[in-house]
Chains A and B, each alone.
Chain A
Amino acid sequence: MQNIALIRLQMNHLVTQARQDIHSLSVMNDSSDNSQTLQRLWDTVSTMHFLSEMLANQAMMAGYYFSTVPAPALPAQTGTAAQPVVPPVTPLPNQTLPPPGERTLTLQELETYDGKNGRPAYVAVGGVVYDVTNNRAWAAATHFGLVAGKDYTAEFASCHAGQESILATLPIVGRLAE
């Protein structure tokens, strides 16, 4: 997503999608199916909004270069491309993070990333440390009674069994020290 051609391609896809949805809405007379299409249309427009902001940003900062980040080498992240994106599509900050996989945090270090006082909010699952600072489900660095800064391997297994795709949507910070 770093270069303009790619953003443009994405934008064109979204325009096609939006036109398609508008067409379906115009021919559909079963109103019970409408809500799904309207939801998708809403998401499409939101994403277009975001992309146009990003384009404008790049135009303003012409000459500023993003370093290209290699695909993360950690195992939990491998399935990302194949996984369907779960709406709402919230832009992920991981594209501009330093190459992941280089940091190792101890449990004590992890504890300081509790999301308080402007600090980021990190949680560990299965030895990998994830950033949940701006994840929609982790408002104020809390999530269904859990507070950020801890290892939640067991909690994740019991609450989100079979939902490993959730992890693939989270930016990776590094590994948890053994």
Chain B
Amino acid sequence: MKKVVLPPESLTNEAIAARLTNAADENLKKGLINKRNLVYLELNGCSGNIISLLNGQNPSFEYTLNSLVDLRYSNSLMAAEGERASEKLMAVLDEDFILAVEGAVALKNNGLYNVIGSLDGQPLTGLQAATILGERASHILAVGACATHGGVSAAKPNPSESVSLQQVLLDREMIKLPGCPVNPDWFLGTLAHLLLYGEPETDNLGRPLMFYSTLIHDRCPRRPFFDRGIFAEKLGDKTCLFKLGCRGPVTRTDCPTRQWNGRVNWPIGDDTPCIGCSQFGFPDAMAPFISFDTTRVVKDE
């Protein structure tokens, strides 16, 4: 029989995480859950998502990588380099693996604007890697703005002709985790859900509902100011940032409650408007990020 934990048990984040970790460890040992292979590809982007993931807490990224999955390839984190690294990437193809991709796919000059390594003396382009691995992966996670919809890489004038991962894998289902960068919990939580319970429920744009279902504006602590028409005129004001160009009213994430950097703070909590980094079409569709000329009343413009 399962041991029931009765109060008083510690309910700190660390204690809960420790219990979860131990439970998962036990299940791993008993063979109830299996570690799965993870390939984490960085394509045309800034590698900001992997940096954000390193910031994960409860569970930490190290825990996820060591205990939940077998990280078989990661441009930034693996020890192997050059052709050796590419060989490791190709070796995964015959096995079962989950593919996570951050960064857009550059199409210009047959993908040559984004070369991620070399294979048999030939450049290995992001486009090749995305198509080869995308076709074989058992599950695909598009991580961050560039992979989900082109993001900053595809912003005008888009010199590298970057597109989203979906556009080169038209008939593959994938889970989309927009954000610039992705919040570590959104990625680690989705990955953990995938391993323990299968694919999480998603909306019509492929975003997991558990992280992306609520409009920021609907959980914003400054909402009462919006409803009364009391607006900030400059950064640092404590009222609603709508007139400065806040994109909270069109962006669906749990930032107001989950927050960032170890759940310490978030943009609006630090008096700067939401720039809609998790909305499809970011950054072009969310521009301008800040406007100071809406509330100003000057006679002589």
Interface class of chain A by DSSP:
loop
A35 to B223, CA, bound (A): 19
In this assembly, does B297 line the interface, its C-beta being within 8 Å of a C-beta of chain A? yes
Interface contact B291-A142, CB-CB below 8 Å: yes
Q: A46-B223, A118-B295 are in contact. Are A140 and B249 (CB under 8 A)?
A: no
Q: B294 contacts which of A42, A88, A115, A137 (Cβ < 8 Å)? A: A115
Interface contact A140-B291, CB-CB below 8 Å: yes
Task: Sort chain B's interface into a size bin.
Answer: 20 to 34
Beyond the given A118-B297, A142-B288, please list 12 additional residue pairs across the A-B interface where CB-CB is below 8 A.
Answer: A53-B228, A88-B218, A91-B227, A117-B296, A117-B298, A117-B301, A134-B242, A139-B249, A140-B291, A142-B287, A144-B281, A144-B285
Write out the residue numbers on chain A whose beta carbons fall within 8 Å of the beta carbon of B247.
139
A42, A50, A145: most-surrounded residue (chain B CB, <10 A): A145
Q: A116 contacts which of B213, B226, B293 (Cβ < 8 Å)? A: B293
Q: Within residues 6 to 48 of chain A, which ones have a CB less than 8 A from any CB in chain B?
A: 35, 39, 42, 46
Q: How many residues of A contact B (CB 8 A)?
A: 24
B207-222 Cβ-contact flags toward A at 8 Å (1 or 0): 0000001110110000
A residues with a Cβ closer than 8 A to B are: 35, 39, 42, 46, 49-50, 53, 87-88, 90-91, 115-118, 134, 136-137, 139-142, 144-145
In this assembly, does B252 line the interface, its C-beta being within 8 Å of a C-beta of chain A? no
Write out the residue numbers on chain A whose beta carbons fall within 8 Å of the beta carbon of B90.
none
Write out the residue numbers on chain A whose beta carbons fall within 8 Å of the beta carbon of B224.
49
In this assembly, does B250 line the interface, its C-beta being within 8 Å of a C-beta of chain A? yes
